[in-house]
Amino acid sequence: MRVKDLPRRERPRERLMTSGPAALADRELLAVLLGSGFRGASAMDLAAQVIEHCGDLDGLARSEPHRLLAVRGVGPAKAARVAAAFHLVRRAQSEPERPRVTSSSDLAAVAAPLLRGHSRERLVVVVCDPRGAVLRRTVLTEGGADHTTVPVREIITAVLTSGGAAFGVAHNHPSGSLDPSDDDLTATARVAEAAQTVGLRFLDHLIITDTAWRRVPCANSGSLHL
C-alpha cells in the first residue's frame, strides 16, 4: 500500500508531527527522510529495503552514499539526503558538552562575556533545557549608557523558539553600579509572571559590571541551586 493511501493519521510524517519521532519505527523514520518510493514500492517499502541492504540501522548510519545507490529506487538525491542526516548526528555528538546553569554564578559566567567591556547597556537572554544545559545565549537589546529595554514578549518568544524550558536574563551597568533600579525590579517581576503564564522556568535576572555581578531580587524566580 502506498503511504498516501493510508489514513492520514497513520502516515509516518503526520504521526511524527503529532506524536513525535519516538512513536515511529526505524523504517518509518527513514521513509520520512526518503520522502517517496518508486513504482510498485512505497517509501516504507523502500526504507525497509535500504535497512536490509545495510544490515541494520548502525550499518546504514556508517554507509557511504554510493553504497545506497545499489538499492533500486535510491538515486543520488535520496542517498545524499540520508548520508547528510546521519553525518549531522555525528557532528552533533562530537561537539563539546554545553555549559550548564545550575547556580547564579553559572548564569553570570555564561552571560558576562557578552556584557563586560561595553559602554552601552545590553540585555542578554540565556536559554536552557530542563537540566540547565545552555541551548542559546544572545544579546536581545542594546540601549544607552544607563538604560536598555526589557521586552518581555521578545524574551519569551526567544526562549520558546529555541526549544527552551528555562531561562535567565542579565544586563550590564557600564557605570559600575550593582544597585537595581526601580525599572529593573519591575521588569524582573513582569518577566517572571510571563514565564509562569507559559510554563517556563525563570531562573534569575543579574546585573553584571566589569568586575562583579548581583541578583535582581524577584519572589517568583526559580531556584538555581539544583
Q: Please give the pLDDT value at position 12.
A: 85
Q: Between these two residues, 19 and 5, which has the higher pLDDT value?
A: 19
Place 92 in a pLDDT band, splitting at 50, 70 and 90: confident
- The CATH number of whichever domain residue 108 belongs to comes to 3.40.140.10
Residue 139 lies in a domain: yes
Mean local confidence (pLDDT), 194-220: 92
Q: Please give the pLDDT value at position 150.
A: 84
Same domain for 204 and 176 = yes
Place 152 in a pLDDT band, splitting at 50, 70 and 90: very high
Is the pLDDT confidence value at 130 over 80? yes
Mean local confidence (pLDDT), 143-150: 74
**Contact 115/148 with Cβ under 8 angstroms?**
no
**Contact 79/66 with Cβ under 8 angstroms?**
yes
Same domain for 199 and 140 = yes
Same domain for 134 and 41 = no
β-sheet with 166-172: strand ranges across: 134-142, 122-128, 166-172, 201-208, 213-215
Percent of the chain with pLDDT over 90: 69
Residue 225 lies in a domain: no
Same domain for 120 and 32 = no
The DSSP line for 189-217 is HHHHHHHHHHT-EEEEEEEE-SS-EEEPP
Q: What cell numbers appear for 208 in the block?
A: 553584571
Q: Please give the pLDDT value at position 5.
A: 62
Is the pLDDT confidence value at 4 over 70? no
- The CATH number of whichever domain residue 31 belongs to comes to 1.10.150
pLDDT, mean over the chain: 89
End position of a domain, from candidates 43, 69, 94: 94
Amino acid at 68: L
Within the chain, residue ranges assigned H as helices are 12-19, 26-34, 43-54, 57-61, 65-68, 76-94, 104-111, 152-161, 182-198
C-alpha angle 163-126-211 in degrees, rounded to nearest 5: 170
Place 226 in a pLDDT band, splitting at 50, 70 and 90: very low
pTM of the predicted model as reported, rounded to 2 decimal places: 0.61
Same domain for 195 and 110 = yes
Residue 222 lies in a domain: no
Percent of the chain with pLDDT over 70: 92
For 194, the domain range is 104-215
End position of a domain, from candidates 94, 116, 132: 94
Is the pLDDT confidence value at 120 over 60? yes
Residue 223 lies in a domain: no
Amino acid at 176: G
Is the pLDDT confidence value at 223 over 70? no
What residues contact 8, with CB distance under 8 A and at least 6 apart? 14
Is the pLDDT confidence value at 80 over 90? yes
Same domain for 61 and 136 = no
Mean local confidence (pLDDT), 63-80: 94
Same domain for 74 and 109 = no
Residue 42 lies in a domain: yes
Same domain for 112 and 49 = no
Mean local confidence (pLDDT), 153-178: 94
Of 89, 88, 53, which is closest to residue 69 (Cα–Cα)? 53
Same domain for 211 and 139 = yes
Same domain for 24 and 53 = yes
Residue 160 lies in a domain: yes
Q: Tell me the C-alpha distance between 43 and 208, whole Å.
A: 54
Number of domains comprising the chain: 2
Q: Please give the pLDDT value at position 40.
A: 83
Cβ-count burial of 116 within 10 angstroms (0-12 exposed, 13-18 middle, 19+ buried)? middle
Stretch among 6-15, 59-68, 99-108, 130-139 having the lowest mean pLDDT: 6-15
Residue 8 lies in a domain: yes
End position of a domain, from candidates 94, 118, 140: 94
